[in-house]
Amino acid sequence: MAELKTVALFMLTALAEILGCYLPYLWLREGKSAWLLLPAALSLALFAWLLSLHPTAAGRVYAAYGGVYICMAIFWLWSVDGVRPTVWDLVGSGVALLGMAIIMFAPRAG
């Protein structure tokens, strides 16, 4: 159950980070309102706070989080950008998730 909670927290964290970066992208590249910077800043603050909720060393959390971020970014590519992921996108995401699982869930001494 702890593993599921960890992955869910990482997924929420990734969503907050991606949204926090996507909104300024819309302003800068798509000509949308600068008001998007306000929810973007709040989303990035939420991202930082969510990362702090993991009970292990920060460096381990940051390293493992990267794997979930990759997977969520590919999901964003498909669901928001409307670009179907290639088989290589999916394989790479799977490898990244495997790396996350090894980092977060491997047995630790003491």
Are 48 and 20 in contact by the 8 Å Cβ rule? The answer is no
Taking only the tens place, the pLDDT of each residue in 23-62 is 999 999 999 999 999 999 999 999 999 999 988 888 989 9
Question: How many C-beta atoms surround the C-beta of residue 38 within 10 A?
Answer: 11
Higher pLDDT, 86 or 4: 86
Dump the DSSP string for 67-102. Answer: HHHHHHHHHHHHHTS--PPPHHHHHHHHHHHHHHHH
Query: Picking from 5-9, 19-23, 26-30, 93-97, which range would have the lowest pLDDT averaged per residue?
Result: 5-9
What pLDDT shows up at residue 110?
62
Q: What is the pTM of this model?
A: 0.88
- Mean local confidence (pLDDT), 70-83: 96
Mind listing the pLDDT tens digit for each residue in 81-92? 999 999 999 999
Predicted local distance difference test score (pLDDT) of residue 23 = 98
Domain boundaries, the chain: 2-105
